[in-house]
Structure 1
Amino acid sequence: MNELMDERITGIAQDIAVSMRGQLLGTFLAPGSSLSLGALALSLAVFVLLVVPRRRRPVRFAVLRRALFPRRLLRSASGRCDLVCFVGGLLFAGIAIGWAVVSADRVGAGVTRLLGPSLRLAAPVWISAPIATVALFLAYEFGYWLDHWLSHRVAFLWRFHKVHHQAESLSLLTNGRVHPVDTIVFHNILGLTMGTTGGLLAHIFGPEATPLTLSGTNILILTAAVVLTHLQHSHLWWTLGPGWGRWLLGPAHHQIHHSADPVHFNRNLGSSLAVFDRLFGTFHMAGERPATLRFGVDDGERAPHGVRAALVQPFIDAARDIGAAARRAGAFATKRTGATKRTGRSQDKATPSAA
C-alpha cells in the first residue's frame, strides 16, 4: 500500500516537473510569447531609451542597473513578494489557465452555430486578416477592461484582485503579482469576448478569417505587450504625451490606477488602450509632471506581503462575502414571504363570505 502511494506521489511530482519545464521553455523560447527572450529584449530596449537621459556622455552600467532593478526590489517586503509571485506565475501559469472553463474556440463555435450559415463575404486574405487582427485585439482589450472593472466592483472578485494592489512599490515584476483565482477569472472572460468575436468573424468571412499571428499570438496583442504592458508597472512617469496619452495607457496611467488616493480608485482599467476607459468613464489622464503617489491598500492588513495575505486570506474573505450574501438573500426571501402571507390574510378578511 505504501509503495503504491509512493509511486503515485512520485508520478504526480514528475508530471508537475514536466509541466513546469514545458511552461518555462514555452514562456522564454516560444516566439509568440510576450515573455520570450526576444520580447523581453525589445521591452528592455524601450525601457533603456526612456530611462537614459539624452546627453552625449555615456551612461555607466551601474546607473542603468539601478534604474532597471532598484534596490527596493529585494530590500522591501513588497518587492520580494513581487519576485516570488512572478516566479510562481512562470511555473504554474499553465496549470491556472488549464482551469479556465470557457474556451474561446468553443464559444466561437457556439456563436457560429447560433448565427447559422456563414455569409462568406468575398474578401481577399489581405483584407480579412487585418480586420480579424484588429477585431480580436479590441476583443482582448475589452475583455481585459471588463475583467478589471468586475474585479474592482464585485466584492468576491476584489478579494483576489486585491493581492495585486497590495504592492506598495511598483517594479517590472509587479505585473506577475496576481492571485491564481484572478488569473482563472481573467482567462474565462477573455474566452467569452474573444470567442464571441471570433465567431462573428467566422460568420461574416468564413473560417478563413484568421488574424495575423506570431506563433499563434495576435501580432497587435504581442506588440502592445512588448511596448507598453511590460513597462506599466515600472517606476517611470511616462505619459506618452498629451496626444497619444489620451488613447494609450503608459506607466504613468497605471501608477494612477495603483494609487491609494480615493480620487484615483477604479481608474485606467484598460490594458494598453484607453478606448474603453474613455467610453465607460473610467479614464484619468496623467499629467506631464510626475505625481507624488502612494501605493497599496489601506484595509488594516498587517502583513500584506506574506503568504497568508497573498494566497490564503482571499479565500477566507471571499467565503465570508458569500456567506453574507446568502444571509441577506435568506432574510430578503423570509421578509418577502411574510409580506405575501400578510397580504393574503388581508385579502381573505376583505372578501365577503359566499354564505
Structure 2
Amino acid sequence: MDITELAQLALSKITGITHNANLRHFWVYVLCGMAIAVCAHRVGGDDRKFHSVFFRKEVWGSRSAFIDYIILIANPIIMVLAFDWLLKKLWSLSAIVASGVKSFGADLQSESGSIWVAVALTVSLYVVNDFMRWWLHYLQHKIPVLWEFHKIHHSAEHLNFATAERHHPLDAVFFLTGTISAAALVNGIFVGLFGDQLTVYQLGGANVIFFGSNLIGGVLRHSPAWVSYGPRIEKWLISPAMHQIHHSSDPKHWDKNMGGGLAIWDRMGGTLYVPKGREELDFGIGEETQDYRTVYGIYIEPLIKAKRIFQRG
C-alpha cells in the first residue's frame, strides 16, 4: 500500500461526508441536523445566540476535540491494515448460512422479486442491526475488559461530529464483529430462502430506514445542540438529547440510553432514561478522563488496563 492509498484511507471519514450515507456526518444528515438544531434552539427558549452555543471554541478547538480529529484520521488506516481480513471473512458467513438454509430444501425463489420480500429484508436488516447495536453496547459497558476499550468513546469532554468516530480500534472491531455477523446471518437466511436476486431499499447507499432516522437529527447525537423529541416519542426513539445523556458524567446517567435508533431495547433492558426537560450536562468519565487526553492514553492505556484485569483474573 503506497502513500497515496494511505492518505486516502486517512481521509476516508472526511471525504465520506460527500458520498457515504452510512456515515452519520453525511452532508444530507448534517444539513437536516443543523436546521433541526436551529429550530430546537429557538423553540427551547435559550436566551443565548445559537452560534455561541453550537460553535463554542471548546467544542471544536479543545484538546478533547483534537484527539477526536486524530482518531478520525488514524483509525481507518489501523482498521484496514490490521483488521480488514477479519471483517471481510465475517461477510463470508452469509454464503455459509445461505447454503445451510438451502440444505433444508426450502425454495421460495419465485418470490425473490416480490415487494414484500424486499420490505421484509430491509426492515429485518435494520431491526436486527439496531438490536445488536444496543446489546453490544450493553456488553461494552458491563464487561470490565470491554469497558476499558469503550472508555475511549466516553472520555470525550465535549461532543462534536467527530466524536462519533472516537473509538479504540479493538472496541470498533468488537462492535463490527457483532453487527457484521448479524447482517451476514440475515442476508444468508434471505438468500437461502429467496435466492441472491434480492433488493434492499436504499437511499444514497444506506438502508432507507437508517437514512430516514438520520434525517431527524442523528448527527446531533454528538454535538452541543440539545434536541429532544419529547417523552412520548422518546419511549420509542432515541433522540440526540438522550444520547448526550448517555455521555454524561453524572452517575444517575451512567449506562443509560445505549440504543442506536429505537428506544425499545433500552426499555426492555431497563436502561432507558427519558429526560423530563432540558438538562445541563458535563461529559467524560470523572477523574479518569485525564488518562485519555493524549494519543498514548487513547491507544495504549486501554491495553495496559485490560492486561491488569486479565492478570487479576
Q: TM-score, normalised by structure 1?
A: 0.76
CA distance in 1, matches of 2:79, 2:228: 30
CA distance in 2, matches of 1:75, 1:19: 24
- Residue of structure 2 equivalent to 1:307: 295
Q: 2:7 aligns with which of 13, 17, 23?
A: 17
Secondary structure, aligned partner of 2:300: helix
Q: TM-score, normalised by structure 2?
A: 0.85
Displacement of 1:271: 0.7
Q: Is the 8 A contact 1:229 1:271 kept in 2?
A: no
Q: Tell me, which stretches of 5 or more residues in structure 1 are unaligned? A: 1-10, 56-61, 326-355
CA distance in 2, matches of 1:280, 1:96: 34
Identity across the alignment (%) = 25
Moved more, 178-187 or 290-299: 290-299
Displacement of 1:190: 0.8
**Cα 1:153–1:236, aligned 2, differ >3 Å: closer, same or farther?**
same
CA distance in 2, matches of 1:268, 1:107: 30
Moved more, 183-192 or 202-211: 202-211
Displacement of 1:99: 5.3
> Which has the bigger relative contact order, CA under 8 A and spacing at least 6?
2
Q: 2:96 aligns with which of 106, 110, 121?
A: 110
- Residue of structure 2 equivalent to 1:192: 181
Q: Deviations over 1:166-200 (max 9, x none)?
A: 12222333212221221121111111111111222
Displacement of 1:293: 3.1
Displacement of 1:203: 3.1
Check if 1:181 corresponds to 2:167: no
RMSD value, Cα: 2.9
Q: Is the 8 A contact 1:86 1:176 kept in 2?
A: yes
Which residues of 2 match residues 1-355 of structure 1 at below 5 A?
A: 12-20=2-10, 24-25=14-15, 27-30=16-19, 32-34=21-23, 35-53=25-43, 63-74=49-60, 76-89=62-75, 95=81, 98=84, 100-101=86-87, 103=89, 105-115=91-101, 116=103, 117-120=105-108, 122-123=110-111, 124-287=113-276, 289-298=277-286, 300=288, 302-325=290-313
Q: Tell me, which stretches of 5 or more residues in structure 2 are unaligned? A: none
CA distance in 1, matches of 2:5, 2:225: 40
CA distance in 1, matches of 2:265, 2:12: 35
Displacement of 1:95: 5.0
Displacement of 1:134: 0.8
**Cα 1:309–1:265, aligned 2, differ >3 Å: closer, same or farther?**
same
Q: Which structure has the greater CA radius of gyration?
A: 1
Amino acid at match of 1:139: V
Displacement of 1:21: 5.6
Q: Deviations over 1:206-259 (max 9, x none)?
A: 323331123542121233234333111223332211221101111221122112
- Residue of structure 2 equivalent to 1:347: none
**Cα 1:205–1:286, aligned 2, differ >3 Å: closer, same or farther?**
farther
Secondary structure, aligned partner of 1:173: helix
Displacement of 1:12: 4.2
CA distance in 2, matches of 1:54, 1:166: 28
